[in-house]
């Protein structure tokens, strides 16, 4: 069986990004540029994806992990030199290879597959992916012969007047039959003003040897947008966001203001959910059906079940059960698990805690490192005092408990089921089942105290 491989060029420094981070690790819609490219290759049916790394190689390798194989380009001596570093990984392959740029995140898997299918069915030694631009200034031009085969690729600086008028440009993405690529690489040299090995020279070599070189022209030139600076990064983000938002709307999600909404690529949203303006939904978040995500909410790596309403709130690494209301201005921190039909109200913060079904935490409350049972009422201003200055401790509150306003629960402490805690109490000991705990001094009234203090007379 003939093998399909990909070589992704990701060794460059990307100086114009003006960043300490490798260019290919900058993100678009929650994924690194190079990850988008590799995912497109896998989507196209690629069996082996080789990523050529160089500048800050360790960071790129750590990010991509075992998803791909790596080839190291210690010195950046041109695109041809980069591909040479992958030779040992494809030298025994009997099949085809597509060479992709690690900074083109908009390339689609369907386009990669189309290019490989065209290359194979045409019997080409090499195939160039091309597109037409209104203004092709700065791009290499594709010059075809009368039969439509590629005659040559001419860099912009070397074009004559007739060639300058050509609008079909070289994308820098190529398909090769492996044996022809290896033969051409063995003939590359760096006899040019830059002293570099150019991948485009392999095309010239194959044409000179009268092998068949074709070109596949795609209509959507945005797929070939390379990222060289922050402006282009923002352009790619805008294009990708539009694609993602449109996909969700086609699937039955209402997004009221797409231009103000940011949704990452891995996010799943169920039908009849409404996303209000200004929302940010990131990571591997899953939102089920009939939810309402109110304005300016942010949800990261969380699961939100059916019929949930979230208003002006932040939810991070958490779970929210169905028919629950969150916010406004609530903060669910990592490890929060909120049950069904729960009320988490305004200015409530929950961290690494379980809140049982039908419980209410209506306002101005902090619950950290706790287990709160079902049908519990947490009064306004309640604080789970979980930190002793060195360690975090756990509080457990049983089903049907009632915690009065302005209560401090000093962890570790247990409040058993059906217990009541009087408002203003500081609880340090276990509260038995069906009991009332009062932990405050009895109120004392001192008549005329103010007048005496100020020396006033009647």
Q: Where are the domains of the chain?
A: 3-224, 245-437
Strands 325-326 and 343-351: parallel
427 neighbors 438 (Cβ within 8 angstroms):
no
Give the model's confidence band at 443: pLDDT under 50 very low, under 70 low, under 90 confident, else very high. Answer: confident
- Joined together, the tokens standing for residue 218 give 């795609």
Burial of 172 (0-12, 13-18, 19+ CB in 10 A): buried
- Joined together, the tokens standing for residue 156 give 């912009």
State which H helix or E strand residue 99 sits in: strand 95-101
What is the phi/psi pair of residue 186, to 5°? -65, -15
| pLDDT value at residue 184 | 96
Residues contacting residue 187 through CB under 8 Å, at least 6 positions apart: 205
**How does pLDDT run across 413-438, given as a tens digit for each residue?**
999 999 999 999 999 999 999 999 99
Helix (H, G, I), strand (E, B) or coil at 366: strand
Q: Could you write out the three-class secondary structure of 389-457?
A: CCCECCEEECCCCEECCCCEEECCEEECCCCEECCCCEECCCECCCCEECCCCCCCCCCCHHHHHHCCC
Measured CA angle at 281 (ends 232, 361), to 5 deg? 150
Q: How far is CA 378 from CA 175, 208, 319, 417, in A?
A: 64, 80, 20, 13
Measured between alpha carbons, how far is 423 from 341 in angstroms, rounded to an integer?
25
List the catalytic residues. Answer: 363
Q: How far is CA 190 from CA 77, 89, 185, 342, in A?
A: 9, 23, 12, 68
Residues contacting residue 64 through CB under 8 Å, at least 6 positions apart: 34, 35, 38, 51, 70
Residue 131: strand pairing partners: 169
Range with the poorest average pLDDT among 60-74, 182-196, 249-263: 182-196
Give the model's confidence band at 92: pLDDT under 50 very low, under 70 low, under 90 confident, else very high. Answer: confident
**How does pLDDT run across 178-231, given as a tens digit for each residue?**
999 999 999 999 988 788 899 999 999 999 999 999 999 999 999 999 999 999
Q: What is the dihedral of CA 183, 189, 194, 197, to 10 degrees?
A: 20
| pLDDT value at residue 139 | 86
| pLDDT value at residue 192 | 80
State which H helix or E strand residue 174 sits in: strand 168-177
Burial of 150 (0-12, 13-18, 19+ CB in 10 A): buried
| pLDDT value at residue 330 | 98
Mean of the per-residue pLDDT values of the chain: 95
Give the model's confidence band at 147: pLDDT under 50 very low, under 70 low, under 90 confident, else very high. Answer: confident
Give the model's confidence band at 449: pLDDT under 50 very low, under 70 low, under 90 confident, else very high. Answer: confident
Sheet order of strands, 395-397 included: 268-269, 286-287, 303-304, 319-320, 337-338, 354-355, 370-372, 395-397, 413-415
| pLDDT value at residue 146 | 84
CA 289 to chain centre: 22
- Joined together, the tokens standing for residue 179 give 């044996």
CA 208 to chain centre: 45
Q: Is the pLDDT of residue 441 over 90?
A: no
| pLDDT value at residue 437 | 97
Residues contacting residue 85 through CB under 8 Å, at least 6 positions apart: 52, 71, 72, 73
CA 371 to chain centre: 31
Which DSSP state fits 140? P
Instruction: Please state the rounded mean pLDDT for residues 342-365.
Output: 98
| pLDDT value at residue 294 | 97
Task: Determine the angle formed by the axes of helices 200-208 and 178-185, rounding to 10 degrees.
Answer: 100
CA 107 to chain centre: 17
Which fold does the domain 3-224 belong to in CATH? Spore Coat Polysaccharide Biosynthesis Protein SpsA; Chain A (3.90.550)
Q: Is the pLDDT of residue 457 over 80?
A: no
Which fold does the domain 245-437 belong to in CATH? UDP N-Acetylglucosamine Acyltransferase; domain 1 (2.160.10)
Give the model's confidence band at 458: pLDDT under 50 very low, under 70 low, under 90 confident, else very high. Answer: low
Give the model's confidence band at 442: pLDDT under 50 very low, under 70 low, under 90 confident, else very high. Answer: confident
State which H helix or E strand residue 39 sits in: helix 33-43
| pLDDT value at residue 44 | 97
Which DSSP state fits 142? E
82 neighbors 11 (Cβ within 8 angstroms):
yes
State which H helix or E strand residue 231 sits in: helix 230-250
| pLDDT value at residue 119 | 96
What is the phi/psi pair of residue 345, to 5°? -90, -160
Measured between alpha carbons, how far is 166 from 35 in angstroms, rounded to an integer?
33
Instruction: Please state the rounded mean pLDDT for residues 14-43.
Output: 96
The model's pTM is: 0.90
């Amino acid at each position: 069986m003939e093998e399909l491989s990909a070589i992704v060029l990701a060794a460059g420094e990307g100086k114009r990004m003006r960043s300490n981070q490798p260019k290919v690790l900058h993100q678009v819609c929650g994924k690194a540029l190079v990850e988008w490219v590799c995912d497109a290759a896998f989507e196209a049916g690629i069996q082996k994806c080789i990523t050529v790394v160089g500048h800050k190689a360790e960071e790129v390798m750590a990010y991509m992990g075992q998803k791909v194989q790596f080839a190291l380009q210690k010195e950046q001596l041109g695109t041809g030199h980069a591909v040479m570093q992958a030779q040992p990984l494809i030298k025994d392959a009997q099949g085809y290879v597509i060479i992709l740029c690690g900074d083109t995140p908009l390339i689609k898997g369907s386009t990669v597959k189309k290019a490989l299918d065209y290359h194979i069915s045409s019997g080409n030694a090499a195939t160039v992916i091309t597109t037409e631009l209104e203004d092709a200034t700065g791009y290499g031009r594709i010059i075809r012969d009368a039969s439509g085969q590629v005659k040559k690729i001419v860099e912009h600086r070397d074009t004559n007047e007739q060639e300058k008028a050509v609008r079909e440009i070289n994308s820098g993405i190529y398909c090769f039959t492996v044996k022809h690529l290896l033969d051409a690489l063995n003939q590359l040299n760096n006899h040019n003003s830059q002293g570099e090995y150019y991948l485009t020279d392999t095309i010239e070599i194959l044409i000179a040897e009268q092998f068949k070189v074709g070109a596949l022209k795609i209509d959507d030139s945005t797929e070939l947008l390379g990222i060289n600076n922050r402006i282009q990064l923002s352009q790619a983000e805008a294009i990708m966001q539009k694609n993602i938002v449109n996909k969700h709307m086609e699937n039955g999600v209402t997004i009221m203001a797409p231009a103000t909404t940011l949704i990452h690529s891995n996010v799943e949203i169920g039908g009849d959910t409404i996303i209000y303006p200004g929302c940010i939904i990131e990571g591997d978040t899953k939102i089920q059906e009939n939810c309402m995500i109110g304005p300016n909410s942010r949800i990261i790596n969380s699961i939100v079940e059916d019929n949930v309403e979230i208003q002006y709130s932040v939810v991070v690494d958490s779970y929210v059960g169905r028919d629950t209301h969150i916010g406004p201005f609530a903060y669910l921190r990592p490890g929060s698990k909120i049950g069904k039909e729960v009320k988490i109200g305004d200015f409530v913060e929950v961290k690494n805690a379980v809140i049982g079904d039908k419980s209410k935490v209506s306002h101005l409350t902090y619950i950290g490192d706790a287990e709160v049972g079902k049908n519990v009422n947490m009064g306004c201003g309640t604080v789970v005092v979980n930190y002793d200055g060195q360690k975090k401790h756990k509080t457990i509150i049983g089903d049907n408990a009632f915690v009065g306003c302005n209560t401090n629960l000093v962890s570790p402490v247990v409040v058993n089921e059906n217990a009541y805690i009087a408002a203003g109490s500081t609880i340090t000991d276990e509260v038995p089942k069906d009991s009332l705990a009062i932990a405050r001094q009895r109120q004392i009234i001192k008549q005329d105290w103010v007048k005496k203090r100020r020396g006033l007379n009647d």
